[in-house]
Chain A
Amino acid sequence: MDEGRALFLQIAESVEDSIVGGTLAEQERAPSTNELAAFYRINPATAAKGVNMLVEKGILYKRRGIGMFVAAGARAQLLAERRAAFAERFIAPLLAEARKLDLDADDLTALLREHAAAASTTIEGTSP
């Protein structure tokens, strides 16, 4: 865990990451507050706050006596949210660093194309 950021947000993000990444499927049981607390070695109240945030957002829902489950449509909702935040989270710092290095938008576009092409050939090359 990153000491400097609100821990409950990091807990919520870790669950969201599993949903976005597909390791936690919709309608599947999500880790419980106590499991999260034990795994990340944090106060269970903090873990509960993170889980509650996801319930309020409609990402998780509670089944009485069984536990927390991933809601239908959760993945699509998270993808939309992350795409909306993408520019702020990734492009703004990218541009700030590029400015320091005297790289303009054209240089960046060229770099992006080059790397995207390299990444896709690697993936094609490794897939059976």
Chain B
Amino acid sequence: MSPVIEVAHLTKRYRETVAVDDVSFVVEKDTIYGLLGRNGAGKTTIMSILTAQNFATSGEVRVFGESPYENAHVLSRMCFVRESQKYPDDATAAHALRIARLFYPNWDQDLADRLVEDFQLPLTRRIKKLSRGQLSAVGVIIGLASRAEITFFDEPYLGLDAVARQLFYDRLIADYSEHPRTIVLSSHLIDEVAALLGHVIVVDRGRVLLDESAEELRERATTVLGDTATVDRFLSGRDVIHRESLGRVTSATVLGALSPLERRELADAGLELAAVPLQQLVVRLTLHAADTETREVVR
């Protein structure tokens, strides 16, 4: 696998705040990445810098092996669907699609036409007058039909109802299967997108908390449930990211894969084992990181 994006020690400061703090990662070709994290974690800033819409304070960013800044050769191969894309006041959706068609070399007009129908997007209405969901649909259609080698979707679903979101995921999978390319999808709706992702990067307060393939992640954490004393015996010496009790029953989430032998021993001891869904893992890791940091500061 060859990386299409390389980020090394990227930092972005706005006066007092550090939006991105010494971040390093690579993005492999033709893979669907999930860029996950809380609001203000730095996701949008990272994507803006990768697409040359914002400047890094320090560190290095390479896209297709080159710097993206003022580099038309690189920029025409990328599409960034922003959560709050601005359009000229009198522009219609038809205008936006026509401009996208001129800009993106791999643009597929048939696909765009089909998506306009799927999302029932009124083409002649001014974008200013569109609903939030229709505005999101404009971005989703451009993101899919541009078939750029790297496409960033930054929270692309705002205002889209459950049916329209499902439509987006279905069209994304179908088109990606036919035309593999690199997709970076930033989303809060982790449960909805978990199965689509090939790789997951979690950012928290400007730092990378997790950078792993989706399959590895599924085996990364386990929740054990059972008698408190038995659970606590198992927990000693392990990396516990969550623990709660109800009466004499305790549920705890630990990091690290369990061997088949360990699993059997736990089952024999009467403990229930459950895998941790991606959304829960992200929530627990993020809270755990905040907690650890607070403790360090207090110390």
Binding site for B on A (CB under 8 A): 1, 3-8, 33-34, 37-38, 40-46, 49, 96
19 contacts between A and B (CB under 8 A): A5-B275, A6-B215, A6-B219, A7-B195, A34-B174, A37-B177, A38-B170, A41-B195, A41-B196, A42-B195, A43-B32, A43-B197, A43-B214, A44-B176, A44-B177, A46-B195, A46-B198, A49-B215, A96-B267
Question: Does B122 touch A at the CB level, under 8 Å?
Answer: no
Cross-chain contact A46 with B178 (CB below 8 angstroms): no
Kindly state the separation between the CA atoms of A64 and B173 in the bound complex, as whole angstroms: 24
Alpha-carbon gap, A104 to B277, bound state (A):
36
Looking at A5, A7, A46, which has the most chain B CB atoms within 10 Å of its CB? Answer: A46
Known contacts A7-B215, A8-B215: A45-B198 contact under CB 8 Å: yes
- Point out residues on B near A: beta carbons under 8 Å: 31-32, 169-170, 173-174, 176-178, 180, 191, 194-198, 214-215, 218-219, 267, 274-278
Instruction: List 10 tightest A-B contacts by C-beta distance, closest first.
Output: A4-B275, A34-B177, A3-B277, A42-B195, A44-B177, A43-B198, A45-B198, A38-B174, A37-B173, A37-B177
Nearest neighbor of A48 in chain B, beta-carbon distance: B177
Nearest-Cβ distance from residue B234 to partner chain A, whole angstroms: 18
- The CA of A4 and the CA of B280, in the complex, are separated in Å by 11
Residue of A with least CB distance to B191: A3
Contact, CB under 8 Å: B170 / A41: yes
Residues of chain B within 8 A of A96, CB atoms compared? 267
B29 to chain A, nearest CB (A): 12
Taking a contact as CB atoms under 8 Å apart, the answer to whether B218 and A5 are in contact is yes
Q: Which residue of B lies closest to A100 (CB)?
A: B270
Q: Nearest Cβ distance between residue A31 and chain B, in whole angstroms?
A: 12
Of A3, A8, A43, A96, most buried by chain B (CB within 10 Å of CB) is A43
For A96, give the chain B residue with the smallest CB separation: B267
Q: Report how far A96 CA is from B174 CA in the complex, Å.
A: 44
Residue of B nearest to A4 (CB): B275
> How far, in Å, is B37 (CB) from chain A's closest CB?
20
What is the CA–CA distance of A78 and B290 in the complex, to the nearest angstrom? 48
Contact of A38 among B32, B177, B191 (CB under 8 A): B177
Please name all residues of chain B whose beta carbon is closer than 8 Å to the beta carbon of A40 when the two chains form the complex.
195
